[in-house]
Homo-oligomer: A and B are copies of this chain.
């Protein structure tokens, strides 16, 4: 094998970066270590991501945000990489999902949650990055379409989608935090915290907590449409 043309691609770089992040943590992802894992000099990565590590982080967020990729039977090959232009002028809407709106929302929420949980170590990257990829638009279309079908209109739809997105994201953050070890010296539970003390042993299953809140939220968000 010659010294150049090592077969480096954006996808290989992103995938390998995620492997390092998942296995060793975000802080251990360095350009040099990533280069080692790809069996290439670190500087070769800059040929594919000329703007450096920030651009790589952006690409990682966009990659993980592609909810379809993480669905149980996701196609994964969706045209969502940097050159995410439709191959043909296929501007027509794809086959619409025949399931009822609430089921589509549950599926979207479960897939998005799975995507974030799978790469929980990469979560800090999501805070200040908002990919506007086609995959992101597909997600938004699912939400807006479902809530519209549920009977909401205009700003109601946007608010409901925002609430659902907030809930899923926040649930993952809460789960990840709950699984981590407490930081700093834990304070003592004394008489000032009677309810916390009383419920100290109650630790419901994370999945059940997520589902219960999701059902409550979905029901509440679409209540206005039902009472009209």
A102 at interface by CB-CB < 8 Å? no
Answer whether A183 and B217 are a contact pair too, CB < 8 Å, given A128-B176, A141-B195.
no
Task: Provide a sorted-by-A list of 9 A–B residue pairs whose CB atoms are within 8 angstroms.
Answer: A90-B192, A133-B187, A134-B187, A137-B196, A158-B209, A163-B209, A163-B213, A166-B170, A169-B170
A191: which of B93, B165, B174, B195 is its contact (CB, 8 Å)?
A: B93
The smallest C-beta distance from A194 to any residue of chain B, in angstroms, reads: 6
Copies in the complex: 2
A174: which of B84, B165, B204 is its contact (CB, 8 Å)?
A: B165
Q: Are A84 and B187 in contact (CB under 8 A)?
A: yes
A173: which of B169, B186, B195 is its contact (CB, 8 Å)?
A: B169
Cα distance, A217 to B212, chains bound together (Å)? 11
Q: Are B189 and A137 in contact (CB under 8 A)?
A: yes
Q: Are B184 and A133 in contact (CB under 8 A)?
A: yes
* A59 to chain B: closest residue by CB: B184
Q: In the complex, what residues of B have CB within 8 A of residue A148's CB?
A: 195
A39-83 CB mask vs B (1 if < 8 Å, else 0) is 000000000000000000011011000000000000000000010
Interface size of A as a range: 35 or more
* A203 to chain B: closest residue by CB: B158
A159: which of B121, B168, B187, B204 is its contact (CB, 8 Å)?
A: B204
A130 at interface by CB-CB < 8 Å? yes
Q: Say which one of A14-22, A29-37, A219-227 lies at the interface with B.
A: A219-227
Cα distance, A127 to B176, chains bound together (Å)? 7
Q: In the complex, what residues of B have CB within 8 A of residue A94's CB?
A: 192
Q: Are A195 and B145 in contact (CB under 8 A)?
A: yes
A228 at interface by CB-CB < 8 Å? no
Q: In the complex, what residues of B have CB within 8 A of residue A8's CB?
A: none
